[in-house]
Structure 1
């Protein structure tokens, strides 16, 4: 459990804070900070603080930090950079504890500039480290909480002090060591075990999400592979029609021909909207499209299987580590890597998804379409939309020296259809072009554009593909 206000008071009595100069600050994770001080009489000493956890506390660190608190997280740069730029080098001139509360106030003098450092050692959402100027205007804080009025530039409201002692809060049984050392020993092992279990839970959850996504991707590519494995039949049909093209007539819906492969009569369906010989080209186009889809899916299946096997082996090695210290380090690195990727992700209106290496931006209504067009889409990005049907825009972000593959176009097309009026039909015609070839309609509706140099695409909704895309978005 966290320290209560009486125990914090006892901790403070033993600490040589007043007159100590802050030499270095180290932020270990989202909740833990070490403050390295120097005192003329005591010498160098370290204050360890932890907030917002079941083990919220402060105490003098008399030995090296345990492995659970080692390492830095890439996402924590903002706060620690402020501490290093504005607090290191300052001297503690006054220490004050809010009456009957777990809030500690340090007044610092940084070469003539007075700063206030407030630390609330709560285990819940009220926990925070807040730095203000002399007038108590917030300069920076560990956790930004706008709903509580705790953000940079706002006045810090301390609140009315509590009155009267509460007999529920008592100092725990004492040992024959200093209270700082007692707390350090008691909480160290408990915090380490909790840290290990929490890291294990998070890594297992990350593993399950990642492997499920890869399995869904593999299933989708296998489905595409199976759907197009007989692509040669389209070429054979086109060859047969070509041999008998003198029999083809305009607006036919079918024709019966002698099939030299089977030596039997064969009925071939034709598109009645086309002229007779145009059906030959139609079947050759179907052949090329199916062949391309098959070959691309085959390549993606090989890649997905290899990636799935690699990630499965990675997590087995990570989670079966027998040495606890190495296991905690490895799990922290794993989670820090995931946080960095999530932090780098494009944050935009609508939805942001990944299709292989390509980022897809999806507008779900006219307002989001317009916002994406104005502020997030660039000239070389691709724009996709359902033809003659209202719906959302899908943008494929440009990658230098990379051609957008068919699988990415199909991902974007499925998203464009599912966020359009064509969703109920389950299929649609679409067109796509680069953003630089779009022209806004003067006086038109919000987000309305006219495309030029567009290409056409017709699809039927692929539920497996959509589940993969939407699952990845939910897990991001």
Structure 2
């Protein structure tokens, strides 16, 4: 809880404020400041103040303020600039506390210029630092509150003295000075509160990242199960090759003996193709399925390793046996690194990841056009639903690598979900490289005509989408 007026009175009685000169002001965060003073008899000393929090207080500081209490915002910069220009160098000539109140007045002299600094140590919106001239015209404030008539060039009026409405007592004392007692008590409480808040934020971050990685593992395992029978395509191709003399045009299927099991198997054929083309088609299916299986197998191992490393990373950061100050610094650094990664991502559309590939998603014509103009290159791949309007999905090119089927299916699902075909839950798409797109002269924003395109059919896969979209808060 905040200090009551009697405790503030006791704090002030121990401080060498009168006669001290302000040498430096430091703003740590939205609510707290340090004031470095020099007193002819006491030497250098530091006053810590905090406003508008459950820990509103002032006291002398015996230890350096730790890293976790530092920070900057634009609003804080304004007041600190005023303080450095107008308050630093001032001498405290009088200290006054409003009776039965948590309002403290420091009268300052800056080489003949008189200033009044009112410190209101309230827990609610009344908390503030107000600096006025000798006529109580406001020069600047920690928090500008126009609705309370607290703004630059406004007039500050000291509230009338009121009688004590309830009895306030000084808390049980320790053997140290009251300043040291408050510093120790509130420093621990404030750090504990900060630590618990940071732990909650990092735990939420960990849960989200681990859920994404777990979904990635599940998606690749699903692909493995789907492609694990890839060798059957090779066997069919071998059987067809051995019985090529039995194949004729316009055969929709054929029943042949499997020489390993002795059973008769039914084989579907493309009746428009020659025998050799049907054989080649099954060998091609074998190669594609085998490649997809091997890629998924490698991706599963990679995703499991990433999950294990990430899990160990967060377990170490969230250990309870760490020094609190060191733990707070680590937690803050973890959250800061996450914010930095978010800010470096482009603002247009969505940036998602499928394995080692980056996917860019435009959700409307404006985003499609912006991505085409500024974020993709000729070798990147473009996907779009056929016969339905919708967003563009781009797969960023990786040198000397062909796009795996699993990545293509991820991109196709994204193109489907961000199109008018979403309600159908399946669609035909075409894809080609960006260099084969042609803009329509005087056409609508983002409109292109693909050339050398290929077709792909896709059915909505909720597992893929949840894995991809969980990593993006705006998806």
Task: Sort the TM-score into its range (normalised by shorter chain).
Answer: 0.7 to 0.9
**1:431 to partner: Cα distance:** 3.4
In 1, distance between residues paired with 2:254 and 2:35? 85
Given the two structures, how large is their TM-score scaled by the length of structure 2? 0.74
**Corresponding residue for 1:242?**
241
**1:294 to partner: Cα distance:** 0.8
Cα 1:46–1:116, aligned 2, differ >3 Å: closer, same or farther? same
**1:291 to partner: Cα distance:** 1.1
**1:287 to partner: Cα distance:** 1.6
**Corresponding residue for 1:61?**
61
**Corresponding residue for 1:430?**
429
**1:233 to partner: Cα distance:** 0.9
What SS is found at the alignment partner of 1:191?
helix
**Corresponding residue for 2:443?**
444
With 203-212 and 230-239 compared, the bigger mean Cα shift is at: 203-212
Is the 8 Å Cα contact of residues 67 and 329 (structure 2) preserved in structure 1? Answer: no
What SS is found at the alignment partner of 2:471?
helix
**Structure 2 stretches of 5 or more lacking a match?**
132-136
Instruction: State how 1:336-351 maps to structure 2 within 5 Å.
Output: 336-345=333-342, 346-351=345-350
- Tell me whether 1:390 sits opposite 2:382 in the alignment: no
Cα 1:5–1:319, aligned 2, differ >3 Å: closer, same or farther? same
What CA deviation, in whole Å up to 9, does each residue of 1:239-260 have, x standing for no partner?
3333334444455432222333
**Corresponding residue for 1:362?**
361
Cα 1:341–1:318, aligned 2, differ >3 Å: closer, same or farther? closer
In 1, distance between residues paired with 2:83 and 2:351? 38
Is the 8 Å Cα contact of residues 5 and 169 (structure 1) preserved in structure 2? Answer: no
With 164-173 and 218-227 compared, the bigger mean Cα shift is at: 164-173
Is the 8 Å Cα contact of residues 108 and 117 (structure 1) preserved in structure 2? Answer: yes
What CA RMSD, in Å, does the superposition of the two structures yield over aligned residues? 5.0
What SS is found at the alignment partner of 1:424?
helix
Is the 8 Å Cα contact of residues 6 and 169 (structure 2) preserved in structure 1? Answer: no
Cα 1:36–1:222, aligned 2, differ >3 Å: closer, same or farther? farther
In 2, distance between residues paired with 1:300 and 1:220? 10
What CA deviation, in whole Å up to 9, does each residue of 1:301-349 have, x standing for no partner?
1122222223333344444442x41x55235424422432333321524
Instruction: State how 1:97-136 maps to structure 2 within 5 Å.
Output: none
In 1, distance between residues paired with 2:184 and 2:288? 68
What SS is found at the alignment partner of 2:430?
strand
Cα 1:219–1:107, aligned 2, differ >3 Å: closer, same or farther? farther
- Tell me whether 1:299 sits opposite 2:288 in the alignment: no
- Tell me whether 1:258 sits opposite 2:257 in the alignment: yes
Instruction: State how 1:23-102 maps to structure 2 within 5 Å.
Output: 23=24, 25=26, 27=28, 34-38=34-38, 42-50=42-50, 53-65=53-65, 69-71=66-68, 91=88, 93=90
With 441-450 and 358-367 compared, the bigger mean Cα shift is at: 358-367
In 2, distance between residues paired with 1:374 and 1:342? 27
Is the 8 Å Cα contact of residues 59 and 179 (structure 2) preserved in structure 1? Answer: yes
**Corresponding residue for 1:173?**
170
In 1, distance between residues paired with 2:110 and 2:360? 47
Q: How many residues are matched? A: 458
- Tell me whether 1:329 sits opposite 2:326 in the alignment: yes
Given the two structures, how large is their TM-score scaled by the length of structure 1? 0.73
Cα 1:77–1:252, aligned 2, differ >3 Å: closer, same or farther? farther
**1:219 to partner: Cα distance:** 1.4
**Structure 1 stretches of 5 or more lacking a match?**
none
Is the 8 Å Cα contact of residues 34 and 46 (structure 1) preserved in structure 2? Answer: yes
In 2, distance between residues paired with 1:407 and 1:128? 58
With 75-84 and 183-192 compared, the bigger mean Cα shift is at: 75-84
**1:218 to partner: Cα distance:** 1.4
What CA deviation, in whole Å up to 9, does each residue of 1:103-147 have, x standing for no partner?
999999999xxx99999867679989999xx99799xx99xx9xx
In 2, distance between residues paired with 1:276 and 1:109? 102
In 1, distance between residues paired with 2:104 and 2:399? 53
**1:351 to partner: Cα distance:** 3.1
What SS is found at the alignment partner of 2:368?
helix
What SS is found at the alignment partner of 2:264?
strand
